A and B are shown apart, each in its own frame.
Chain A
Amino acid sequence: MSASYLEATARERILALLDAGSFNELLPPAQRVVSPHLGQLDAPVSFDDGVTIGEGLLGGRPVMAAAQEGGFMGGAVGEVHGAKLVGLIKRAIRKQVAGVVLLLETGGVRLHEANAGLIAVSEVMRAVLEARAAGIPVIVLVGGANGCFGGMGIVARCANTVIMSEEGRLAMSGPEVIETANGVEEFDSRDRALVWRTTGGKHRYLIGDCQQLVGDDTEAFRQAAMDALTALAQSGAPELTLAALESEQEMLRRRIATFGHAEDPMDIWAELGVERPETVPMLEAAAFTAMAQGLRIPFKA
């Protein structure tokens, strides 16, 4: 059933992702496990602290899934929110499920919880790496309005797979932060086209930071996640090996060598051999993917 992933709430996304009727929420809102820190800043809490987590089936395979609610505090990670993600991943390892699916929409560390948020993000990162070491694949979906930023942008690239829509953004520092620090000449945060060229799904797909680019559709995300899970189940989720990381080191070194001089992401697309790079933003997901075939840098985790 087709619906905009962008417009959907976290709860709607996770229900659309998993097999119908299979979702069993952990620490549901009725348990009221809220932030212990927001009250002293006179800020409202949310009954699930902005992240819905639980168990379910994806194409018949048991998974753990989490969806961050971008509407609450920008999806940012506080003490409880982060602990829910860490606990979920540890549960996945204990139960040896087929995978963990993280629907990320977040600004990163929740500033209202400062130090607790920073440590929490690093604990999520360690947990994702622990899952990989235990052979549990981690699949990340990025398609919400707030994108996936901050320390969580790092976490996303620790996963086995990243699936994005064109509307999604994946980066570390937000354009406003960069503009405030180093001026509008450095990064004009109000130039939306530039922001999406720099951090959006299509650019990430072309340079090798995103495995699959889908349309803004919960069904498309579900299908892509299922396909990824199947592929990982068949090939065995790759552990971190010296060979794999040396290969990644070389890929990242080459990225700087080849594209480090580019002024604008469109220069990179042109360099990759994209004809008429200015038309990239206009292409639908399927047409874009077809066009990029053979040109884009392949994704490897």
Chain B
Amino acid sequence: MSQTPTPSQVDWRTLAQTLFPQGQQISGKDHFLSGTAQVDGRTVTVVGTTAHTPIGIEIALAQASVILQTVREHPGRPIVILVDTQGQRLRHRDEMLGINSYMAHLGKCVELARRQGHRVIGLVYDQALSGGFITSGLIADACYALPDATIRVMGLPAMARITKVPEERLTELARSNPVFAPGPENYLRMGGVAEIWHDDLAQALSAALTTDDSADNRAAVGLERGGRKWAQRVIQAVANDVPLNG
């Protein structure tokens, strides 16, 4: 499942300037981003990754540390997660040390922030693959994406190998079916991405940060937009005894 790295489309510094015209103090070290920025006259925490870096135990822990620091020292401060990753790091050492626990810890820290009243949003600005996406964009209150972002579970050739479905068939399905097609439009239709940001990124960010709702409504959105016709209905049937019709 080795991925041919696509060259970085987005320079994070340029992105940061566009996102935060009021100013930003973000530093990048070993493809790990952290710092602060100003939006609508207040400070937000910024954390994330760059250069399609894989998320291993160290980066997961470093991201968690930033989240915890924000909760500890800055009540109510919004958190912006900038996502660019090729997924979880695929190394024996990470599995031996329990990378699933490090990822879970990061997810729990985001949940804590949310419960304590911090708005947490994710922006996929370049790549978001597989497990790396689960504990970044997908654990936030809402996840947004740039139009040229790459979002997917796995490349089609690898998927074909593992599922034993011919690659041609997957490619054909990918053309029309949001379930298989990579890309932010499909995640948008399925409710995984709340909005795709074109044009004025700073404005879009400002609007995203003022939205109040942190409950997970992605299944309902997926039904509304037609990308996932069953998830919400099954959830309602099981949770609230709402009859499934047909």
Q: Are A181 and B2 in contact (CB under 8 A)?
A: yes
Least CB distance, B221 to chain A, in whole angstroms: 10
B61 part of interface (Cβ distance < 8 Å)? yes
A83 part of interface (Cβ distance < 8 Å)? yes
B169 part of interface (Cβ distance < 8 Å)? yes
CB-nearest residue of chain B relative to A262? B96
Q: Are B190 and A119 in contact (CB under 8 A)?
A: yes
Least CB distance, B194 to chain A, in whole angstroms: 12
Q: Provide the bound-state CA to CA distance between A58 and B102, in Å.
A: 31
Best-buried of B99, B133, B134 by chain A (most CB within 10 Å) = B134
What residues of chain B lie closer than 8 Å to A233, measured between beta carbons?
Answer: none
CB-nearest residue of chain B relative to A248? B105
What residues of chain B lie closer than 8 Å to A42, measured between beta carbons?
Answer: 165
Interface residue tally on A, bucketed by range: 35 or more
Q: Are A122 and B231 in contact (CB under 8 A)?
A: no
Q: Are B134 and A118 in contact (CB under 8 A)?
A: yes
Q: Are A151 and B105 in contact (CB under 8 A)?
A: no
Q: Are A240 and B99 in contact (CB under 8 A)?
A: no
- Within B157-191, the residues touching A (CB, 8 Å) are 158-159, 162-163, 165, 169, 173, 177-182, 186-187, 190-191
The dominant DSSP class at the A interface is helix
What residues of chain A lie closer than 8 Å to B119, measured between beta carbons?
Answer: none
What residues of chain B lie closer than 8 Å to A155, measured between beta carbons?
Answer: 104
Knowing A33-B244, A37-B179, A84-B234, the reply to whether A199 touches B95 (Cβ < 8 A) is yes
Knowing A154-B100, A198-B95, the reply to whether A88 touches B238 (Cβ < 8 A) is yes
Q: Are A249 and B68 in contact (CB under 8 A)?
A: yes
Best-buried of B65, B133, B182, B237 by chain A (most CB within 10 Å) = B237
The dominant DSSP class at the B interface is helix
Knowing A111-B153, A113-B179, A209-B101, the reply to whether A125 touches B90 (Cβ < 8 A) is no
- Within A72-121, the residues touching B (CB, 8 Å) are 79-80, 82-84, 86-88, 90-91, 94, 109, 111-121
Q: Are A173 and B90 in contact (CB under 8 A)?
A: yes
Interface size on B, residues (CB 8 A): 80
Least CB distance, A269 to chain B, in whole angstroms: 11
Interface string of A180-215 (1 = CB under 8 A from B): 111000110000000000110001100101000000
Least CB distance, A183 to chain B, in whole angstroms: 10
Q: Are A249 and B65 in contact (CB under 8 A)?
A: yes
Q: Provide the bound-state CA to CA distance between A116 and B189, in Å.
A: 11
Contact of B107 among A129, A130, A173 (CB under 8 A): A129
Knowing A118-B138, A245-B105, the reply to whether A171 touches B100 (Cβ < 8 A) is yes
B34 part of interface (Cβ distance < 8 Å)? no
- Within B224-245, the residues touching A (CB, 8 Å) are 228-240, 244
A31 part of interface (Cβ distance < 8 Å)? yes
B198 part of interface (Cβ distance < 8 Å)? no
Q: Are A114 and B218 in contact (CB under 8 A)?
A: no
B91 part of interface (Cβ distance < 8 Å)? yes
Q: Are A118 and B153 in contact (CB under 8 A)?
A: yes
Least CB distance, A45 to chain B, in whole angstroms: 13
Contact of A157 among B101, B169, B216 (CB under 8 A): B101
Q: Are B173 and A40 in contact (CB under 8 A)?
A: yes
The 6 closest A-B pairs by CB, nearest first: A87-B238, A157-B104, A83-B234, A153-B100, A122-B138, A90-B239
25 contacts between A and B (CB under 8 A): A37-B179, A43-B165, A83-B232, A83-B235, A91-B238, A109-B153, A114-B153, A116-B190, A119-B138, A119-B191, A121-B134, A123-B231, A151-B131, A157-B100, A171-B95, A172-B100, A173-B88, A175-B95, A178-B90, A186-B90, A186-B92, A187-B91, A204-B98, A249-B105, A256-B61
Known: A36-B229, A87-B236. 7 other contacts (CB 8 A): A83-B230, A88-B238, A111-B154, A119-B138, A126-B111, A154-B100, A199-B95
